[in-house]
Amino acid sequence: MATGMRGLNQFIADIRGARVRELEEKRINKEMANIRKRFKDGNLDGYQKKKYVAKIIFTYILGYKVDVGHMEAVNLISSNKYSEKQIGYLAVTLLMHENSDFLRLVVNSIRKDLDDNNEIHNCLALHAIANVGGKEMAEALAEDVHRLLISPTSQSFVKKKAALTLLRMYRKHPDVIPAEEWALRIVSLMDDPDLGVVICVTSLVMALAQDHLDPFAVCYQKAVDRLHRLVIEHEYSATYAYYKVPSPWLQVKLLRLLQYYPPSDDPTIRSVLQNVIQVIMTNSAEPTRNVQHNNAQHAVLFEAIGLAIHLDTNSPLVGTAAVLLARFISSKETNVRYLGLDTMAHLAARADSLEPIKKHQGTIILSLRDKDISVRRRALDLLYSMCDVDNSELIVGELLRYLKVADYGLREEMVLKIAILTEKYANSYKWYVDTILDLISAAGDHVGDEVWYRVVQIVTNTEDLQEYAAKVVFEHMKSPSSHENLVKVGGYILGEYGHLVANMPGYSPAEQFQLLHSKSQFCGAPTRALLLSTYIKWVNVFPELKLQLINVFERYRHVLDSDLQQRACEFYALASRPEDDELLQNVCEEMPPFPPRQSALLGRLNRKQGDTEDKRTWVIGGKEANLERQAVQRLTTMPTGLGGVESGSAQEITKSLAGLDFSTSPNKVEAPLMEHTPSSSSKVPPVVAGPNIDKWFDKLTYSSDGVLYEDVQLQIGIKTRYHGHLGQLAIYVGNKIAVPLTSFTTTVQCGDPDALSITFAKMPPTMIAPRTQTQLLLHVECNKFFKNPPIMTVSFLAGSHQTLSIRLPIVVTKFFEGVKLGPNEFFERWKLIGGPPREAQSIFAITLDAAGHIDMPRQQQVISGLRFDVLEGIDPSPTNIVGAGVLHMATEGKVGCLLRLEPNREAKLCRVTIRSTSEDVASEVQKLIQKPLAAPS
């Protein structure tokens, strides 16, 4: 900053030379007065403005308030000199906030710099937008930043900054970025040859894809391909090898991105991913002495294990991962222990069996006493996730023991988790009540209201538990230091069910009253109010205590607290009524069972955990909790009419944690999981159409090879082979221009994926060199009847981003096989099938050949091409054609089909009749035959 500005150098030297703060302030005040005077006088050239604004920036950096120089900074941005423009942008980013009025003055200057051919000016403008861009600036300049990102003439370092600027804008103002509209163009940059650009664009795609899964679904294939090239083919420059690990930051981002989507059904993609994960695990099997190499390798490894768990918890890869994790949780390095415990919690949250994790239960429990609190927190999460019916008593008991010495920052979360586990896995009334009361006694202030509310609800709804609960809570309250939450539970339970134990030795009404009342002096007003309600209940069931209780009400009638005073006055009036008065009995009836309510404990725990910019793909808890989370994500968009659910936190939970068989729990709500598929997008571009394209498609429905599409840039041809319900398509894509087609992406979408399965034999290429051809191999399987042909979407970069959607000539007749039939057999089956609805018939105009005759060879070619066997000697008319075929389907089996074609030369008409055991097949085959044979309209 100071290069070439002597005045600035001297000013900085004077500031540094000041021995006391007063001298420093004096020098700064003198300089600020001089700058104000010079700005007021005007007539400053660019150099002087730059020098004075630089002094203002330095003063601001020192921590002094600055109220001058804003307009001069705005003017400097418009300068053509880099040094002046740099100081102007620096001042704007430091001195102004996103809502500053001065920022409106620089929008046009920033837009001009974004449009400039000078890359340095582009970068200065991008920095300013990212640092101080408010909503107004984002709305005004988002399009310009996006254009700079996708421009083929932009330098790599400009693209990187543009991607990160868009990421910053999206995180601050997500509604400003039209994510769905820009999705395909942004994802195409994941194929950029510069890995630095790929890293930045992947960061942007991760943020956008979390909120827009379908539009960004094509990034799944891009991520898999890039991982394959990095890990398997070692396709990267030495610049991006960090201690011999190929671009670990990019690998981690790609592995995380793949976890946002459900596992792909494409066997090719799954195979490639398994190979990638296997290589990563093999490379990380033995640590080296180089700490940096180990850190990079472990970062990639743990994310790869997370992806393996996400893909299939029963795969051999996850078994290998479990062995590695067992080694990592015992590591001497804190970071490795932390990551090992966190990843093992992920495994516990998804795995069908917890046995591999239970083997290391002792090590995990020891981690609760690790010297690092973050490791202790991860150990707590893992124990919570791996708890089940078999080990619940052991884990809960260990957590209760640890609770007494745990960090204060952990205690509230521990209380919630212990309460949830106790309720979820309780196998007896005794254990549940004992554990919860031990928890309330031990945790004290860290027990939230939700915990004791839930205890009261379960005891009230479980008649067999009430007597035992009254005895146990009475014994717990004998402790000299009973916490207020325990007094609340005791007050409620003894008030409702104290009479059940009143005849037992040691639990007389007088002893109950003496114990409870002795605790009231140490409690707050809300607890005392609850105890007053307990006392009025006792007036009804324990007449011998009536005088003592009336005295208590009398004393509380004169307290300052309005709620206590009102309760005491009302209860005093009730207690003073004659003994034969039924009002007291009616008011003090036993509480009825609570209506089915959902536990608020899980909602409290989820709110405590919160969320981050990079959303987790799983939640802490067992497999059931993660399945419920997926259901909740679908249910949150539906209106819910839950009767009897408490307002506030309880409304936020859509599934009760009440795992106790002896408690009333709400009916389980099951919703279909409408998963996103990474191989398809909900928005398909319009199918390209035209006379030639339709003609080529129609011909390919009855031909095995030919041209499917052609324009000035691209030619697509097809060769096919079918046998039974299986088929194979070789698609040849030719680049006709002198530049490469980059970011080449191919996806195939079926209208009914259950009916037709299409997979790539290998990963499609991402680039087609100039004037060359590449082959895509597709495997097709017909499972059941379908009508609509699949659509292949091809996108590529050739100057601009282009997308084509083309129908593939895969129709139901491709899965036919001809059948040889004799005359008797044919007519027997023809009559057996009968007429409508199993018959489809139509009459259409035809064209004659050049000699004016029926074009018999063409008609036979079409029928044979539609995979019917043309039967000779069946029909007495030589011009009629008879055929038979069988449709093969993997799921629905075989469907027979018979055909009769009757052309009329004089009328130039033709009648086609199709009979099939399936009316849908008959109707579809009739249309497929008529289309190529009918005369052009």
pLDDT of residue 558: 86
Q: Which residue has the higher pLDDT, 408 or 661?
A: 408
Query: Pick from 391, 456, 464: which is nearest to 424 by CA?
Result: 391
Examine the domain organization and report whether 760 and 901 are in the same domain: no
Give domain status of residue 580, yes or no: yes
CATH of the domain at 927: 3.30.310.10
For residues 385-389, average pLDDT:
88
Q: Is 7 annotated as a binding residue?
A: yes
Can you give the pLDDT at residue 658? Answer: 37
CA triple 482-486-489, angle to 5 deg: 150
* Average pLDDT of the residues in 265-269: 89
pLDDT at 674 over 60: no
Query: Considering Cα of 840, then 843, then 845, then 846, what sign does the dihedral take?
Result: positive
Q: What is the mean predicted confidence (pLDDT) over 361-375? A: 90
pLDDT score recorded for residue 141 = 93
User: At 745, is the secondary structure helix, strand, or coil?
Assistant: strand
Query: DSSP of 775-794, one letter per residue?
Result: EEEEEEEE-S---SPPEEEE
- Phi and psi angles of residue 620, each rounded to the nearest 5 degrees, phi first: -70, 130
Tell me: is residue 52 an annotated ligand-binding position: yes
Residues 812 and 14: their CA atoms lie apart, in Å, by: 87
896 is an annotated ligand-binding site residue: no
In a domain, 629, yes or no: no
Looking at the structure, do residues 515 and 556 belong to the same domain, yes or no?
A: yes
Please report which confidence band the pLDDT of residue 485 belongs to, taking 50, 70 and 90 as the band edges: confident
- The residue type at 834: G
Tell whether the model's pLDDT for residue 358 goes beyond 80: yes
Is 6 annotated to bind ligand?
A: yes
User: Residue 852: what pLDDT?
Assistant: 85
658 and 458 in contact (C-beta within 8 Å)? yes
Please indicate, yes or no, whether residues 800 and 843 belong to a single structural domain of this protein.
no
> pLDDT band at residue 606, thresholds of 50, 70 and 90?
low
DSSP state, residue 448: -
If asked whether residues 911 and 886 sit together in one domain, one would say yes
Q: Rounded mean pLDDT of 200-221?
A: 93
Residues 695 and 790 in one domain: yes
Token pair 């139509």 in the structure block, residue: 842
Answer yes or no: is 279 a known binding residue. Answer: no
Last-in-domain residue among 793, 810, 827: 810
Quick one: 882 and 792 in the same domain? no
| Domain contains 609 | no
pLDDT at 900: 93
Query: DSSP per residue over 641-702, as a string?
Result: --TTPPSGGGGG-SS-----TTS--PPPP--------TT--S-PPPPP--HHHHHHHHHHTS
- Give how many domains the chain has, as a whole number: 3
What is the per-residue DSSP string for 804-870? EEEE----GGGGEEE----HHHHHHHHHHH-STTSEEEEEEE----TTSS--HHHHHHHHHHTTPEE
For residue 564, being part of any structural domain is answered with yes
Question: How much of the chain, in percent, has pLDDT values that exceed 90?
Answer: 45
Whether residue 165 lies inside any domain: the answer is: no
> 691, 718, 695: which is closest to 707 by C-alpha?
718
State whether 435 and 582 are in the same domain.
Answer: yes
Asked if the structure places residue 274 within a domain, the reply is no
* CATH for 755: 2.60.40.1230
Q: Is the pLDDT of residue 659 over 60?
A: no
> Would the pLDDT of 612 be above 50?
no
840, 882 contact by CB (below 8 A): no
**pLDDT tens-digit series, residues 143-186:** 999 999 999 889 999 999 999 999 999 999 999 999 999 999 99
| Out of 117-126, 166-175, 366-375, 420-429, least confident range | 420-429
Task: Give the residue from 530, 556, 588 where a domain finishes.
Answer: 588
Q: How confident is the model at residue 130 (pLDDT cuts 50, 70, 90)?
A: very high
- Is 887 contained in some domain? yes
Burial call 588-620: b when 16+ CB within 10 Å, e when fewer:
beeeeebebbbbbbbbbbbeeeeeeeeeebbbb
Domain of residue 885, residue span: 813-934
Query: Same structural domain for residues 754 and 817?
Result: no
Q: What is the C-alpha to C-alpha distance for residues 726 and 740, in angstroms, rounded to an integer?
A: 34
How far apart, in Å, are the Cα atoms of 661 and each of 426, 459, 462, 658, 673?
A: 9, 13, 10, 8, 27
Q: Do 820 and 765 fall into the same domain? A: no
For range 17-30, the mean pLDDT:
90
| Phi-psi label, residue 143: left if phi above 0, alpha if psi -120 to 50, beta otherwise | alpha
Average pLDDT over residues 337-359: 90
Judged against a pLDDT cut of 70, whether residue 922 lies above it is answered with: yes
Give the mean model confidence (pLDDT) for residues 848-871.
90
45 by DSSP, 3-state: which?
Answer: coil
Report the pLDDT value the prediction gives residue 176, as an integer from 0 to 100: 92
User: Do residues 571 and 445 both lie within one domain?
Assistant: yes
Domain stop point among 775, 810, 845: 810
- For residues 494 and 541, membership in a common domain is answered with yes
Distant-in-sequence, close-in-space partners of 908: CB < 8 Å, separation ≥ 6 = 845, 846, 847, 848, 935
Alpha helices in 557-675 (DSSP H): 562-575, 582-587, 601-609, 623-635
Whether 654 has a pLDDT exceeding 60, the answer reads no
Task: In whole angstroms, give the CA distance from residue 463 to residue 501.
Answer: 14
In a domain, 909, yes or no: yes
Query: CA nearest 200: which of 184, 189, 214, 212?
Result: 189
Is 888 within 8 Å of 782 (Cβ atoms)? yes
Whether residue 755 has pLDDT greater than 60? yes
Q: Is 47 among the annotated ligand-binding positions?
A: yes
End-to-end CA distance of the chain: 77
Is residue 450 domain-shared with residue 554, that is, in the same domain?
Answer: yes
Average pLDDT rounded to a whole number, residues 386-406? 89
- At a CB cut-off of 8 Å and minimum separation 6, what does 829 contact? 821, 896, 898
Q: What pTM was estimated for this model as a whole? A: 0.79
Question: What is the tens place of the pLDDT at every residue in 29-57?
Answer: 998 999 999 888 888 888 888 999 999 99
User: Residue 881: is its pLDDT beyond 50?
Assistant: yes
| 607 is known to lie in a ligand binding site | no
